[in-house]
Amino acid sequence: MRIGFFDSGVGGITVLSEALRQLPKENYIYYADTDHVPYGTKSKEEVKKFILEAVDFMAREGIKALVVACNTATSIAINDLRSKYSFPIFGMEPAVKPAVERNCSLRIMVTATPLTLREEKYQNLITKLGQAHIVDGVALPELVEYAEKFIFDKQIIFQYLRQRLSAYDLSKYGTVVLGCTHFPFYKDCFQEIFPSGTDIIDGNTGTVNYLKKILITKSLCEEGQGNVIYYSSGKEQLGNIRYEKYLKILQSNRLKK
């Protein structure tokens, strides 16, 4: 059986890329709800409906585990999904906890979609860590649209980020959290805009580490071919050219480091 990855669009490819690196012999289903992307600017009720319909489809296809590779979808529907299905379900959340643990008295910037920052799950996380006084949430919804439109021109991204971050003294931040799975596509841009030494982190590696641990614990690991079937809102994408382009960008960025 396959491991399912779900996102509103291509952001979850950043998590899938990490899974392919750590679990190269597993087989995968990647489901992008492209008919309804972006999620981060829609109502909670509307988005939950889309998520439940998509996961119902994936469950019928047969999956042994599910990664909800979308911070917004995790915030809205992870509890409903875990109540409904028996297979292990893994969600995403902004990597605020590791940011707090690494932080050296400087401020923390959490970048995400507007819906993620509004959700109770995120607010509870900040409160629980007791660091609300040093954490600033910044909504960057246009980055989702840029990624979906395959816009990776640095000049465009720099102009957008500088405009959105112009009200902040970037030298005061020790850590920037990429709290949307679309944002790691632009990690190098964040690194160039923020002062040298600023920690730019996301939750992808931690999520896949946990996925791997649970698969081993539950004896669910398999020796497959490492292939991926891609779906866009329930329609299989033959050829997979679009999604493979995104994987190549991530692999290229990894080689540059």
Tell me what pLDDT residue 249 has: 87
- Which whole number is the average pLDDT over 14-23? 95
What is the per-residue pLDDT for 239? 62
Same domain, 70 and 147: no
Beta-bridge mates of residue 68: 6
Same domain? For 181 and 227 the reply is: no
Same domain for 226 and 180, yes or no, is no
Q: What is the mean pLDDT of the chain?
A: 91
Which 3 state secondary structure label does DSSP give 252? helix
97-124 pLDDT, tens digit per residue, is 888 888 767 999 999 999 889 888 888 8
At residue 222, the pLDDT reads 87
Give the mean pLDDT of 193-199: 94
Q: Which domain holds residue 155?
A: 96-201
| Same-domain status, 217 and 187 | no
User: In the predicted model, is pLDDT for residue 205 greater than 80?
Assistant: yes
123, 185: one domain = yes
- Which band of pLDDT confidence, cut at 50, 70 and 90, is reported for residue 242? confident
87 and 212 housed in the same domain: yes
Q: What's the pTM value of the predicted model, to 2 decimals?
A: 0.90
Residue 257 has pLDDT above 70, yes or no: no
Q: Hey, what's the torsion of the CAs at 113, 117, 119, 121, to 10 degrees? A: 110
Q: Which residue is listed with tokens 């609300």? A: 132
State what percent of residues in the chain have pLDDT above 90.
70
Return the active site residues.
70, 180
For residue 253, pLDDT beyond 80: no
Q: Given a cut of 60, is residue 256 above it in pLDDT?
A: no
Residue 184 sits in a domain whose CATH number is 3.40.50.1860
Question: Which residue, 178, 201, 224, sits at the end of a domain?
Answer: 201
Answer whether residue 252 shows pLDDT above 80: no
Domain count, the chain: 2
